[in-house]
């Protein structure tokens, strides 16, 4: 590494995902972080549908209507000498594929937990993906402005359900209507919820673990109880361990309220201090490519059509793994060996986009795509010639037959299907002989979003006929005999022309295995 400027730039990057169960408040916390970074002037809220203030990270029409995130959004801002890339992921379990792939593109994660509900099913699932990658995870326990569960109980649940050590960076002084503030263990201060009740002070420094006795808060019975709880935590709890945090074995825990913007800035500043700069990335051959490598490389982890419906644009999101991107540079697309000039490239600053002149490892760039890219593609400069590890694909569980309602609009129907399928959230199959279209997805909401987008973005009304749940299994073309197909196992082709069976149930699969014992069937994951 002989380029100190590149090293300095890479070391200033912090690229992380926000994960949670739906409605735990992660989109709201994203808004507040953008506010601190000066990327937006006013935090929109997904609750404020009547006002027209929608969350800046929820750009799709259906997201605004439902008040949920169903796509991963990418936003960037500068704060305290760091260039921050946030990836706000869908919380809804039907969109787990998009989230899983996004988690391959980050160096750390912030997990948002509802203080009243604790750890919910989707949080647990997403945490396991992060844990498997061994990346640092920071926890924000949200909604302190409402009555919730006891803080100690929430920490115990973290350790028992997620099997990770927790270290409370701060501790609530009351909650709900009785919320008075946060006892900041790490920064040795008290953060006051209502400064006007404490001589206008927002942060009160601690002296020997206590605040000055002349402040009204000092006499509060809840505050006195918190002093006892903190003493117990410091004596009996886990020690703060930066090495364990780096391995993902300990999570620093912050309490606060994203909606009232309380405790968020403290979490952000401490997070930026301990979150890692960009990691090395593994290639398919098992080699590691350093972020400080001079030549540019990156991989496509997401494709999104119609982010600007007026322009019918398609954007391939690329995580830069090494070197420097410069506008107009030539790169090679690993899968095809094709040379591509990267001229029209964008970055996302909240709800605005800016053309990128330069970006380095850790940054996320959006490349305007005319159909060149697929999810998982590697791009590299010069002689680097790398292929990064394959991104996860999921075997769908639910299936629908789909056709155009208006036969005169076949062109927009086919264009819409092809573009939306390339985003990777739904899978497309054709029956082997009749070539009827079948869609596969991991959750029902995917179909609703597909139908909505086909109508609103491609003016193509579709007829969708449920086929229920099926078990998809791929077969080697060399082993295939069309007569293997029956009413219990539909023979189809995927979009790469590979043959597969859609089995009615486990019984149909066992029947097939008994009849054809030498035929091996495969699933995606």
Residue 40 maps to which CATH number? 3.40.50.300
As a whole number, the mean pLDDT across the chain is 86
Rounded CA gap, 368 and 346, in Å?
8
Confidence (pLDDT) at 307 = 58
Q: Is the pLDDT at 158 greater than 60, yes or no?
A: yes
Confidence category of residue 59, pLDDT binned at 50, 70, 90: very low
pLDDT in tens, 46-57: 333 344 444 444
29 found inside a domain: yes
Q: Is 91 annotated as a binding residue?
A: yes
Task: Please check whether residues 263 and 287 belong to one and the same domain.
Answer: no
Q: What is the pLDDT of residue 289?
A: 95
* Token pair listed for 302: 């997401």
- Say yes or no to pLDDT of 491 above 50: yes
Contact between 82 and 10 under an 8 Å Cβ cutoff? The reply is: no
Give the separation between CA 249 and CA 74, rounded to whole angstroms: 27
The last residue of one of the domains, among 254, 274, 294, is 274
Q: If DSSP codes are grouped into helix, strand and coil, which group holds residue 25?
A: coil
Predicted confidence at residue 227, as pLDDT, reads: 96
Amino acid 133: pLDDT = 85
Section 25-50 average pLDDT = 63
* Tokens matching residue 159: 């350790």
pLDDT of res. 70: 35
pTM over 0.85? The answer is: no
Domain membership of residue 22 (yes or no) is yes
Q: How far apart are CA 118 and CA 131, in angstroms?
A: 18
Phi, psi of 189 (to 5 degrees): -160, 165
Beta bridge partners of 502: 472, 490
5 marked among binding-site residues: no
Q: Distance between CA 472 and CA 29 in Å, rounded?
A: 38
58: pLDDT strictly greater than 90 = no
Rounded to an integer, the average pLDDT of 332-357 is: 81
Are residues 360 and 456 located together in one domain of the fold? Answer: no
pLDDT of residue 513: 95
In tens, the pLDDT along 501-514 reads 999 999 999 999 99
What is the predicted pLDDT for the residue at 89? 73
Domain count, the chain: 3
Residues 6 or more apart in contact with residue 62 via CB below 8 angstroms: 70, 448, 449, 452, 453
Res 139 pLDDT > 70: yes
* 145 in a known ligand binding site: yes
Average of per-residue pLDDT across 198-216: 89
Top-confidence range, 29-43, 164-178, 376-390: 164-178
Within-domain flag for 123: yes
Q: Does residue 89 have a known ligand-binding role?
A: yes
Residue 173 has pLDDT above 60, yes or no: yes
- The mean pLDDT of 330-350, rounded to a whole number, is 86
Polymer length of the chain: 525
- Percent of the chain clearing pLDDT 70 (strictly above): 88
Residues 187 and 244 in one domain: yes
1: confidence class by pLDDT, cuts 50, 70, 90: very low
Identify whether 8 is part of a domain.
no
The distance from CA 242 to its chain's CA centroid, rounded to whole angstroms, is 24
Question: Which residue has 């803080």 as its token pair?
Answer: 151
In this prediction, residue 374 carries a pLDDT of 86
Give phi and psi for 358, each to the nearest 5. -150, 140
Cβ partners under 8 Å of residue 357, min gap 6: 326, 327
Is 317 found in the same domain as 259?
no
Lowest pLDDT segment from 19-33, 177-191, 470-484, 511-525:
19-33
Choose one of 274, 307, 325: the last residue of a domain: 274
Q: Do 462 and 407 fall into the same domain?
A: yes
What is the reported pLDDT for 197?
Answer: 78
Q: Which of 239, 274, 309 is the last residue of a domain?
A: 274
Which long-range contacts does 482-487 make (Cβ < 8 Å, 24+ apart)? 482/432, 482/433, 484/512, 484/516, 484/519, 485/432
82, part of any domain = no
Query: Do 353 and 437 belong together in one domain?
Result: no
Q: Could you tell me the pLDDT band of residue 424, with boundaries at 50, 70 and 90?
A: confident
Per-residue model confidence as pLDDT tens digits over 251-310: 999 999 999 999 999 999 999 999 999 999 999 998 999 999 999 999 999 887 765 555
Q: Does 88 carry a binding-site annotation?
A: yes
Within a domain: residue 5? no
Q: Do 305 and 420 touch, CB atoms closer than 8 A? A: yes
Based on the fold, state whether residues 150 and 174 are members of the same structural domain.
Answer: yes
Is the same domain home to 414 and 515? yes
The parent domain of residue 320 ranges over 281-380
C-alpha distances in Å from residue 498, one per residue of 428, 435, 495: 12, 13, 7
- Judge whether 24 is annotated as a binding position: yes
72 confidence band (pLDDT: 50, 70, 90): very low
Q: How confident is the model at residue 175, as a pLDDT?
A: 95
- Give the CATH number of the domain where residue 479 resides: 3.30.70.3280
Same domain, 321 and 370: yes
Q: 436 vs 403, 409, 473, 502, CA distance in Å?
A: 8, 16, 18, 14
Predicted pLDDT of residue 349: 56
| Digit-coded pLDDT (tens) for 441-468 | 877 877 888 888 888 888 899 999 999 8
The 10s digit of each residue's pLDDT in 176-188 is 999 999 999 999 9
Least confident of 306-315, 444-453, 481-490: 306-315
Residue 389 lies in a domain: no
Would you tell me how many other CB atoms lie within 10 Å of the CB of residue 480?
16
142 is in an annotated binding site: yes
- Report the run of H or E that residue 469 belongs to, with start and end: strand 462-469
Q: Give the pLDDT of residue 383.
A: 85
Tokens of 27: 């989109």
22 is in an annotated binding site: yes
258: annotated binding-site residue? Answer: no
Task: Assess whether 240 and 183 both reside in one domain.
Answer: yes
Cα(223)–Cα(143) distance, rounded to whole angstroms? Answer: 19
Residue 38 known to bind ligand: no
Q: Give CA–CA dist 268/32, Å, rounded.
A: 10
Establish whether 371 is an annotated binding residue: no
Q: Do 80 and 272 touch, CB atoms closer than 8 A?
A: yes
Task: Tell me which of 73-82, 110-119, 135-144, 219-228 is least confident.
Answer: 73-82
What is the token pair recorded at 249? 């074995």
CA dihedral 523, 131, 350, 28 (to 10 degrees): 110
Average pLDDT over residues 123-135: 83
Is residue 382 predicted with pLDDT exceeding 60?
yes
Predicted local confidence at residue 121, as pLDDT: 78
> Do residues 135 and 50 both lie within one domain?
yes
Interval 396-418: pLDDT, tens: 889 999 999 988 888 889 988 88
- 266 and 287 in a single domain? The answer is no
Q: What is the 3-state secondary structure (H, E, C) of 240-285?
A: CCHHHHHHCCEEEEEECECCCCECHHHHHHHHHHHCCCCCCEEECC
**How buried is 175 (Cβ within 10 angstroms: 0-12 exposed, 13-18 middle, 19+ buried)?**
buried
Within a domain: 427: yes
243's CB contacts (< 8 A; 6+ apart) are none
Look at the block and give the residue holding tokens 């927002």. Answer: 202
**195 assigned ligand-binding residue:** no
Residue 244 known to bind ligand: no
């Amino acid at each position: 590494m002989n380029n100190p400027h590149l090293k300095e730039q890479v070391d200033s990057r912090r690229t992380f995902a926000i994960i949670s169960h739906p409605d735990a408040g992660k989109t709201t916390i994203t808004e507040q972080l953008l506010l601190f970074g000066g990327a937006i002037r006013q935090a929109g809220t997904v609750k404020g549908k009547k006002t027209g203030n929608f969350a800046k990270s929820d750009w799709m029409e259906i997201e605004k209507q439902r008040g949920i995130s169903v796509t991963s959004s990418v936003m960037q801002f500068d704060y305290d000498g760091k260039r921050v890339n946030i990836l706000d992921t869908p919380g809804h379990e039907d969109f787990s594929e998009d989230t899983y792939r996004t988690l391959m593109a980050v160096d750390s994660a912030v997990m948002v937990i509802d203080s009243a509900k604790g750890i919910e099913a989707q949080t647990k699932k997403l945490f396991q993906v992060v844990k498997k990658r061994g990346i640092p995870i920071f926890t924000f326990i949200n909604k302190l402005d409402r009555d919730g569960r006891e803080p100690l109980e929430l920490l115990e649940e973290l350790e028992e359900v997620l099997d990770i050590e927790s270290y409370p960076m701060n501790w609530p002084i009351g909650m709900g209507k009785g919320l008075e503030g946060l006892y900041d263990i790490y920064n040795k201060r008290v953060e006051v919820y209502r400064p006007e009740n404490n001589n206008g002070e927002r942060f009160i420094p601690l002296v020997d673990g206590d605040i000055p006795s002349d402040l009204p808060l000092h006499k509060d019975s809840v505050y006195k109880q918190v002093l006892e709880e903190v003493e117990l935590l410091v004596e009996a709890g886990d020690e703060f361990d930066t090495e364990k945090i780096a391995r993902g074995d300990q999570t620093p825990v912050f309490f606060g309220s994203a909606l009232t913007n309380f405790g968020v800035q403290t979490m952000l500043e401490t997070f930026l201090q301990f979150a890692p700069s960009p990691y090395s990335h593994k290639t398919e051959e098992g080699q590691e490519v350093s972020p400080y490598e001079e030549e540019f490389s990156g991989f496509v982890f997401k494709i999104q059509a119609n982010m600007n419906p007026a322009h019918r644009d398609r954007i391939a999101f690329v995580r830069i793994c090494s070197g420097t991107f410069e506008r107009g540079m030539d790169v090679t697309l690993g899968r095809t060996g094709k040379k591509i000039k990267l001229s029209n490239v964008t970055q996302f600053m909240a709800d605005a986009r800016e053309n990128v002149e330069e970006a380095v490892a850790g940054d996320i760039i959006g490349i305007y795509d005319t159909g060149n890219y697929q999810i998982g593609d590697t791009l590299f400069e010069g002689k680097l010639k790398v292929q990064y590890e394959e991104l996860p694909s999921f075997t769908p569980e639910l299936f629908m037959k789909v056709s155009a309602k208006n036969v005169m609009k076949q062109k927009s129907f086919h264009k819409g299907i092809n573009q939306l399928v390339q985003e990777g959230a739904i899978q497309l199959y054709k029956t082997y002989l009749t070539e009827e279209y079948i869609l596969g997805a991991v959750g029902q909401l995917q179909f609703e979003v597909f139908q909505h987008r086909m109508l609103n973005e491609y003016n193509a009304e579709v007829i969708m006929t449920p086929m229920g749940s099926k078990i998809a299994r791929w077969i080697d073309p060399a082993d295939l005999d069309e007569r293997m197909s029956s009413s219990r196992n539909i023979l189809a082709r995927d979009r790469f022309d590979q043959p597969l069976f859609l089995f009615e149930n486990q019984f149909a699969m066992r029947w097939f295995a008994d009849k054809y014992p030498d035929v091996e069937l495969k699933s995606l994951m």
